A = this chain, B = another copy of it.
Amino acid sequence: MTTEMIVREIKRKQSFLCIGLDVDLSKIPTHLLELSSPIFEFNKAIIDATHEFCVAYKPNIAFYEAYGQKGWEALGKTINYLNTQYPEIFTIADAKRGDIGNSSRMYAKAFFEDLGFDSVTVAPYMGRDSVEPFLEFKDKHSILLALTSNRGACDFQTLESKEVSLFETVIKTSKNWKNSQQLMYVVGATKAEYFKKIRQLLPNSFLLVPGVGAQGGSLEEVCKYGLNAEVGLLVNSSRSILYASNGLDFAEKAADTAKALQQKMQTFL
């Protein structure tokens, strides 16, 4: 999927909402547990109920691997459902991968080719040759961890070398990598004070923003400093939508929460 297609959908739906599909079997409605593929059935119901209000879905791969082969199967069914039923939706494998070149190429193959995701999140610690293999896939995007939303982000990411923070160096350096126009960046909503600087470094890139909602980030702040001419933001919400209710009305309540977020986003566009 090209960036232009993402922007077109954002403008059409008046939403830059990304819904994280982080499915925890201990949190989903118990009536689904009797089905043969409860994770997929949950995702399918959530997707059918919320797709009008969002432009992207982001399964966090940890939640699927934790269920072994069954989890991997549910992930395959979910991405296949998205690609066939809602091909206009941007899909993100939140995998945070990164390894030496040959191994990164295998991960890229897994997520882009075998599963068919439009993008994957990538960790920068191992540098250029661990990320470029992901960038070799045409019309696929790699979303580099820049400044994450968790507390540990301050352990290393904000360390300064010659007055430049590590996350800034990651951003500046990555712009010189081959096919860097296929890069997006993870920037946590909880780090709103850095958004202005990041937008200066990356005026045109899309930023994937976790941390609004449960983690305490503010949508207003993110929009104030993060929006650009082509919107340039995908704001993620997971738990507040997925687990809005754990009764029979879970999909309906998820839709209500997603719709409320979309309506709030519309006021900033």
Chain A residues in contact with chain B, CB under 8 A? 22, 60, 62-63, 65-69, 72-73, 76, 94, 96-104, 106-107, 109-110, 114-115, 123-131, 145, 148-157, 159-161, 166, 169-170, 173, 210
Contact = CB atoms under 8 A, between A and B. Distances in A.
Given A69-B73, A110-B68, A101 B150 contact: yes
A62 B149 contact: no
Contacts of A65: 106-107, 110
Nearest to A69: B72
Contact of A76 (B63, B68, B104, B160): B68
A152 B130 contact: yes
User: Residue among A63, A76, A97, A126 with the most chain B CB within 10 A?
Assistant: A126
Contacts of A159: 161, 166, 169
A93 B265 CA distance: 41
Given A68-B72, A97-B96, A103-B22, A156 B150 contact: no
